[in-house]
Structure 1
């Protein structure tokens, strides 16, 4: 009997507990059903007109709109227009080839802000023990026409050979995620019209080892016999360089570069006793700061 009464007592307590839980669950459900959802509390109407009654910048009503406008313009100039100097030797190399070994330099730099810069370039090449075959320097104004490209205009001065000063108009930049381009047209003080197109692409093998294909094409609108340049395509160069970045700012490289004189330019080269096709094995360094 005691055992049966105890069992019955336990059973009644269990049933009561279950009934109480069921009641609480039902109450909770009914309470949840009656409570507003989060989406119901978000206003669906547009902001009231008085929300736009004040100034666009809260500080204007305390300091003055003119003063704050000048201050904001100053901040923009300081942040985006702060003058910066940059210099890079893209190619500074020794060239081993048939006959006399040679050298080449190709450097450029800029000083200015985000949109407008003073840009300078210099390149040239020659054989050791002789005067440079070619050498030039350019002074350019560079203006950003988008996030990837600058338009450039200025002057170029040839430093060897027949004196020439050229007006320059070009474009330089990066085809997004592809290759760098530097293209320019030149009009000399003698009326000669020439152009040059350069392109290079960095292919990362590892984080530090980079393979760079490079190509350059020179063109002329007319024959320029005193410079050994024929009309049309004057010269083509294609190269492949493998560099190792000990740091992003310093990377030695090795490679090969092939040059061809084309058309009338090849005829001029042969007449001068030169080979219109030259293979160069190169060792150099690329650095910037």
Structure 2
């Protein structure tokens, strides 16, 4: 074909070539759509109605984005699922970073003189000593009707000291028809050996019937289940005597209290007046009503057994070695 024929075919085929295949010169001019997007104010836009769940953020480069000017206080992130986000590439070192100003200077360590001025040595009078307290308690002050005549009995104790150590004064006795059959006074020093028990040492004087003095050694305290108990060993020459007692407060109400009690004595050695073995056993129960916490009248029942030499002495004084009585009395402390 000649040249004219080729020229005609070229002119016919030229419009059929797609525009994408044609070279376009690159310019720095921004597209109108992009220019319009940069001038848009996104602060007034409500993104809550937009569905971002279909958007793929994995291809987005967030490293070039400046989030410092963004206000996140109005954004609700409660519905966003952060479990698929990978934060391993984020640099958290600059978050919340503070810089020390030029005026911040570290405090020097305290000197020995400063510490001595702040914490002076305690003098003897400045130390916190245990407070000195005291108590007087009349456990029993009672009366009853008996064959020899009206009887009276008491059991009191008083102490002064602290929670650690105390001086004790104890007294108990019985009188019939205006004549005292037995009177005993104990003077003891007590020191705690556990939170619930005290060890005591001192002397006991039997004013009646024989005026004998005993060395006393014992313990007293509260057993499990709140039984108030005591055990004493008395020594006088070759004579040895053991005394144990226990009692329990059973609260029937806030003010009505029933107290069963038991006391027993036994001779450990044979003596001129006291034989070896069991000597006396007292069991009883008293019901008291607390008018106040300090004052409580009561009524009760008690039975006393005498064994061996103690029973013989009771019969010699005109009493039975097995007697019981109904009592009425009062209990108070101050």
Structure 2 counterparts to residues 45-194 of structure 1, below 5 A? 61-63=115-117, 67-68=121-122, 70=123, 74-75=127-128, 77=129, 81-129=130-178, 131-188=179-236, 190-194=237-241
Runs of 4+ more than 6 Å apart: 20-23, 31-35
- Give the superposition deviation at 1:92: 0.7
Q: Which residue of 1 aligns with 2:319?
A: 274
1:29 and 2:76 matched: no
Provide the alpha-carbon RMSD of the alignment: 3.3
1:19 and 2:57 matched: no
Separation in 2, partners of 1:96, 1:238: 18
- After superposition, the Cα gap between the structure-2 partners of 1:266 and 1:65, relative to the gap in structure 1 and judged at 3 Å, is same
- Give the superposition deviation at 1:100: 1.4
- After superposition, the Cα gap between the structure-2 partners of 1:161 and 1:266, relative to the gap in structure 1 and judged at 3 Å, is closer
- After superposition, the Cα gap between the structure-2 partners of 1:34 and 1:283, relative to the gap in structure 1 and judged at 3 Å, is farther
Q: Which residue of 2 aligns with 1:207?
A: 254
Q: Which residue of 1 aligns with 2:275?
A: 230
- Give the superposition deviation at 1:240: 0.4
- After superposition, the Cα gap between the structure-2 partners of 1:139 and 1:34, relative to the gap in structure 1 and judged at 3 Å, is farther
Separation in 1, partners of 2:156, 2:205: 15
TM-score scaled by structure 1?
0.75
Say whether the 8 Å CA contact 1:97–1:278 is kept in structure 2.
no
TM-score scaled by structure 2?
0.66
Separation in 1, partners of 2:303, 2:256: 22
Separation in 2, partners of 1:159, 1:192: 17
**Which one has a bigger Cα radius of gyration?**
2
- After superposition, the Cα gap between the structure-2 partners of 1:174 and 1:73, relative to the gap in structure 1 and judged at 3 Å, is farther
Greater RCO between the two (CA within 8 Å, min separation 6)?
1
Separation in 2, partners of 1:255, 1:241: 4
Separation in 1, partners of 2:114, 2:287: 57
Separation in 2, partners of 1:132, 1:32: 97
- Give the superposition deviation at 1:222: 2.9
Could you tell me which runs of 5 or more consecutive residues in structure 2 were left unpaired when the two chains were aligned. 1-47, 56-75, 88-108
- After superposition, the Cα gap between the structure-2 partners of 1:225 and 1:33, relative to the gap in structure 1 and judged at 3 Å, is farther
- Give the superposition deviation at 1:157: 1.2
- Give the superposition deviation at 1:202: 0.2
Say whether the 8 Å CA contact 2:148–2:318 is kept in structure 1.
no
- After superposition, the Cα gap between the structure-2 partners of 1:163 and 1:67, relative to the gap in structure 1 and judged at 3 Å, is same
- After superposition, the Cα gap between the structure-2 partners of 1:200 and 1:29, relative to the gap in structure 1 and judged at 3 Å, is same
- After superposition, the Cα gap between the structure-2 partners of 1:34 and 1:123, relative to the gap in structure 1 and judged at 3 Å, is farther
- 1:136-192 deviation line (CA, Å, top 9, x unaligned): 11111100111101000001112122221111001011114321012111012x431
- Give the superposition deviation at 1:101: 1.9
